[in-house]
Every structure is written in C-alpha cells, then in structure tokens.
Chains A and B, each alone.
Chain A
Amino acid sequence: AAGVIQSPRHLIKEKRETATLKCYPIPRHDTVYWYQQGPGQDPQFLISFYEKMQSDKGSIPDRFSAQQFSDYHSELNMSSLELGDSALYFCASSPSARFRTDTQYFGPGTRLTVL
C-alpha cells in the first residue's frame, strides 16, 4: 500500500539558512499534519491543512510557514534556521477530516541538522 512520502530524508543546514521540507500524502488523503520531534521527546504538532486550507495551528515559530498545494502535497518552509530547529520532522496524512481527526499515517520523517 502507498505510504506518506517525505523528502529529503536528511538535511544539513547552517544557522540562518533556509530549508524546505516536502510531504506527499497517501492518495485520496486530503488532510496533512506536520510535527516536530526533538531527541527523546514526543511529536509536537506544528500545523495542519484540510483541502488546501490551514485547519489548525500549534507551536509553529513565525519563521516557519507551510502550505498545501492543489495536488495535496505540502511544503514546510523554514527560514533563519537556529540550532534548536534540529529535529525529526514528520508529516502525517489522513482521509477527509473536516471537523475531527481521523487516523493519521506518518511518513518516515526528515531529519534536519542545523550546524
């Protein structure tokens, strides 16, 4: 069965640089979630999209922005990177979830290292 695809899988950046993470949801899933997970921590919700519109927002820094495109893939843009941004970034997708959260299927993650 098709799964969530994330690219790149690993990314190394310098402080103050920018990064773009991409997520391709499972076919026919129109809801996308982004999470940040630091070492030994739980996944922290950043932002979600339903039908290309932002549906909820968590502890996402102002330096980060995201969007969902017409083909339902999503991109997380991170600017002015800081050392503390080093983490695993997961994207998850779920079937239509207009007012509630259905089962979320996680992608393999992008490991971002900021030097």
Chain B
Amino acid sequence: QQPVQSPQAVILREGEDAVINCSSSKALYSVHWYRQKHGEAPVFLMILLKGGEQKGHEKISASFNEKKQQSSLYLTASQLSYSGTYFCGTEVWGAQKLVFGQGTRLTINP
C-alpha cells in the first residue's frame, strides 16, 4: 500500500533541476507533497486532487496522472534551501489518512 518514490536520493548543484516521482498501486484521490529537514516537521508543499485541482508552491510544480496513479514533483532552478527529504503522501477515497512514501533525500551543493 505504501507508495514508491524514486529516486531515493539525488545530489544537485545550485540552479539545477530535479524530478521526484511517486507511484501507487491503488487508485488515488489525492497526492500531497511535503519537504522535511532533519529533526523538523514535514512542511506542506503541494496537493494534487483527482479531477485536476492543484494548490501549490510558487517555485515548485507537480503533476498527477490519475490513470497511472503517479505523481511527479518538479523543482526548477534549485536553491540551497530546497535541501531536505521529500515525501509524497497518498490518499484513497474514504480514508482519513495519508500513507507516505519512503522519501527522497535531496542535497543541493553550492
């Protein structure tokens, strides 16, 4: 039931782009994206709903392929502050919970 994220880790130089993928075996109602820095709380980035509604973050975008139960998070022109672990949380209809992927560790170097 846990969604699968890829890659598990990525290292970039400042200004480069990254794509993080999240794939589920279940039909999804929504996908939520969070970023977590070490020892801190996950911070909400993006929610993608079945039907196409999207709420987001100014410099980060995402897509949601409902038929394939897949979502991708796009970080462009990465900044040092983007470093952290990114989690996708998936929701199925009727379940008031998120099931998180195993996380993708993103490191941005100067």
Contacts and interface: CB of A to CB of B under 8 A. Distances in A.
Are chains A and B native binding partners rather than an unrelated pairing? yes
Interface of A: 31, 33, 41-45, 48, 50, 55-56, 58, 88, 90, 97, 99-101, 103-109
Contacts of B41: 90, 106-109
A58 B101 contact: no
A45 B42 contact: no
Given A106-B43, A108-B40, A108-B41, A100 B91 contact: yes
A104 B103 CA distance: 17
Given A33-B97, A103-B55, 9 more contacts: A42-B87, A55-B96, A56-B95, A88-B39, A90-B41, A90-B42, A97-B96, A100-B93, A101-B97
B100 interface: yes
A75 B2 CA distance: 26
A33 B89 CA distance: 13
Contacts of A33: 96-98
B72 interface: no
A88 B40 CA distance: 10
Nearest to A34: B97
B91 A42 contact: no
A100 B96 contact: yes
**Chain A CB within 10 A, most for which of B2, B29, B41, B44:** B41
Contact of B30 (A43, A101, A105): A101
Nearest to B100: A42
B99 interface: yes
B110 interface: no
B95 to A, nearest CB: 6
A100 B29 contact: yes
Contacts of B96: 31, 33, 48, 50, 55-56, 97, 99-101
Contacts of B99: 45
Contacts of A48: 96-97
A42 B29 contact: no
Contacts of A99: 93-94, 96
